[in-house]
Amino acid sequence: MSVPEARLVLLRHGETTWSRQRRHTSRTDLPLTPAGEAQARAAAPVLKSLDLRDPLVFTSPRLRARQTAELAGLAPARIDDDLVEWDYGEYEGITTAQIRESVPGWTVWTHPVPGGETAEQVGARADRALSRAEPILAERDVVFVGHGHFSRVLIARWAEFPVREGRRFALSTGALSVLGFDHDARSIWGHNLTARTEPLEEGTR
């Protein structure tokens, strides 16, 4: 397959109060901020420019993802529980800087998450989601609406990298990545695409 024939598009949800504050957000079900709603709407023309083929849309069940899908013009969307964010366990609601006060050098990619998911568990979810999407790509494009860290895991696993290599794919709120094929090899065709110019929100959730 080649890029005109098959694309898997990842859309990260728009800004929430916690993502703006760089607080880890998984199970906490926050709505979008007004800025996040604007980011979600701004994704619509980017999606339109991709000229997707009758896309089948899947979304995380979290409110911030569902709102993003609707505002980006991706309704109706099917709920997929595998698209939820990495479970941060005891680190839910706190920032990387706060965690590093007791665990120097901590990142979700390289260190344990007490009470949360392991990299292996998150990778298994990503692989399940990708294995369901790939057969669909023969007929139509697929869009996943979800979260920052989990979308980066999806990118890493699509490229056949270990989960930890998701650290190399910073993804802003409201941004898209485009995955596909080149001469039958899984490829990354576009990353961190937005309709606006702003700094990357490294470290946000």
To the question of pTM greater than 0.75 for the whole model, the response is yes
Pairing of strands 176-182, 7-12: antiparallel
Task: Report d(CA 17, CA 32) in Å as an integer.
Answer: 8
Count other Cβ atoms within 10 Å, centred on residue 99: 21
Report the CATH superfamily, name and number, of domain 7-193.
Phosphoglycerate mutase-like (3.40.50.1240)
Domain range summary for the chain, segments of one domain joined by +: 7-193
pLDDT digits (tens, 9 = 90+) for 134-175: 999 989 999 999 999 999 999 999 999 999 999 999 999 999
The one catalytic residue in 13, 24, 147, 149 is 13
Sorted by sequence, the CB contacts under 8 Å of residue 136 that are 6+ apart come out as 56, 142
Catalytic residue list contains 201: no
pLDDT digits (tens, 9 = 90+) for 32-73: 999 999 999 999 999 999 999 999 999 999 999 999 999 999
Catalytic residue list contains 198: no
The one catalytic residue in 15, 37, 85, 201 is 85
Count other Cβ atoms within 10 Å, centred on residue 55: 18
* Coil/strand/helix, residue 149: helix
